[in-house]
Amino acid sequence: MIFNCKKLAEDELERLKKTTRRNLSLGVIQIGEDKVSEAFIRQKKKSAGKIGIGFSHYRFPETVTLKDLKEQITRLPDDGLIVQLPIKSDLETQKVLNLVPFEKDVDVLSEASLGLFYTGRLEIFPPVVGAVDKVLKEKEISLRGKTLVVVGPGRLVGKPAAIYGMRKKATVITVNEFTENVAELTRRADVIVTGVGKPNLITGEMIKKGAVIIDAGTSKKDGHLVGDVEIESVKEKAGFVTPVPGGVGPLTVVSLLENLINKCTT
C-alpha cells in the first residue's frame, strides 16, 4: 500500500493554523543556486502562507565569506531561521549551520541544538524525524521492540532517525556505503527509514512482507523528483510505503513550522 501523506499534512497545517501567532516569520537562507532547493523553498513558503506565518528568502552568492554571512545573519529579524541544504559554496556546512542562533534554529542542525537532541533534552524534533513520528502515529505503529533499519548516515535523515529509534526502544541497525550484505539486514526490518538520495536503492526483494517503508530520500531521475524506493516492486509487499513526492516531504515542512510555533510559545 502507498501512503500518500498530503492529506495528513493538510490536516496538520489546519491544526497549526489555530495555534499560530500571526506575526511569526520564517527566514530561509540560500547560498548559491540550486533548482531542487528552489522547489523546496517554494513549498515552505506556500505552507507557511497557509497558516499565516510570514516568509523571507535570503539569497547569498557562492563567494560569500563566513564572516560576512555571520554579520548578515545576526541582522535578520525572523523568529526562525534555516539554511537550505545543500550549500553551493566552499564553506564548511556545519560552520554555516552553527551561525543560526539556538533560539531561532527550527531545523535542529546547529551543534547546540543537535547536542540537546542527542542527549534527549530538546523539546522539538528535527523536521524529518517529526515527519516520521507523525506517520507512525497516524498508522498507530509503535517502534518498541521492533527492528528499525536506517539506510544512510546523513545529517538530515539517518543520524536523527537512528537516535529517535533508540529513544523509542527499537533495535536500530544503521547502513552506510561500506555495509556488506545490505539486503540481509533490510529483510530483518519491521520498519525501514531511508534517506540516501539514490533511485531504486530499496527494492521489493530487499524487504519482508508487511514491512513499513518510510522514504525520505530525494534525487532527480529523468527530470523528476524520486525517492530511494523502487515503488512498483515494494508497494505490493510492504505494509505501506511513503512515496516521493507526496510522502514525508510535506510533513517535514509541517514539522518545521510546528518547531517555529513551539519555540515562540514556550
- Three-state SS at 99: coil
Got the DSSP string for 14-70? HHHHTT--TT-EEEEEEES--HHHHHHHHHHHHHHHHTT-EEEEEEE-TT--HHHHH
Catalytic residue at 139?
no
Q: Which of 107, 190, 215, 228 is catalytic?
A: 107
Residue 93: how many CB atoms within 10 A of its CB? 15
Q: Which residues contact 170 (CB under 8 A, 6 or more apart)?
A: 143, 144, 145, 146, 147, 148, 191
44 part of the active site: yes
Out of 30, 84, 146, 190, the active site residue is: 84
Count of Cβ atoms closer than 10 Å to residue 57 Cβ: 15
Q: DSSP for 66-82, please give it.
A: HHHHHHHHTT---SEEE
**Residue 84: active-site member:** yes
Nearest to 28 by CA among 71, 66, 65, 76: 76
Q: Where are the alpha helices (DSSP H) in 150-247?
A: 158-167, 182-186, 231-235
For residues 62 and 90, give the distance between their C-alpha atoms in angstroms, rounded to a whole number.
Answer: 8
CA atoms of 232 and 236, how far apart (whole Å): 7
Which of 30, 44, 78, 215 is catalytic? The answer is 44
Report the distance separating Cα 252 and Cα 258, nearest Å. Answer: 10
Active site residues per annotation:
44, 84, 107
